[in-house]
């Protein structure tokens, strides 16, 4: 298991080249794949889809609110 061995001295650990992690790759892929926030209102279906997306975004914002004040002394 070569990937488990440390073939560099501990003092040079910060000099290793940065490798993109799986998490970073997945996040980049998700961000690139986001659908448009609004469709053109050329027909009624697009208008209804825009209304649904706005309602969904409002619900997500309401659910993710932090209701407790941050008390740090």
Q: Got the DSSP string for 41-67? A: TTSHHHHHHHHHHHHHHHHHHHHT---
Stretch 50-73: mean pLDDT: 78
Higher-pLDDT residue of 66 and 32 is: 32
The residue that leads in pLDDT, 56 or 68, is 56
11: Cα within 13 Å, side-chain hemisphere: 0
Kindly report, residue by residue over 27-47, the tens digit of the pLDDT. 888 888 776 677 788 888 888
Integer-rounded Cα radius of gyration of the chain: 23
Residue 37 CA to its chain's centroid (Å): 15
Residue-level pLDDT at 22: 92
- Indicate the SS3 state at residue 8: coil
Q: Is the pTM of this model over 0.75?
A: no
Residue 37 is given by DSSP the state S
């Amino acid at each position: 298991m070569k990937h488990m061995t440390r073939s560099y001295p501990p003092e040079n650990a910060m000099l290793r080249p940065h490798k993109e992690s799986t998490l970073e790759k997945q996040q980049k892929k998700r961000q690139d794949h986001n659908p448009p926030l609004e469709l053109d209102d050329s027909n009624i279906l697009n208008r209804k889809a825009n209304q649904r997306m706005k309602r969904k975004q409002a619900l997500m914002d309401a659910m993710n609110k932090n209701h407790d004040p941050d008390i740090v002394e």
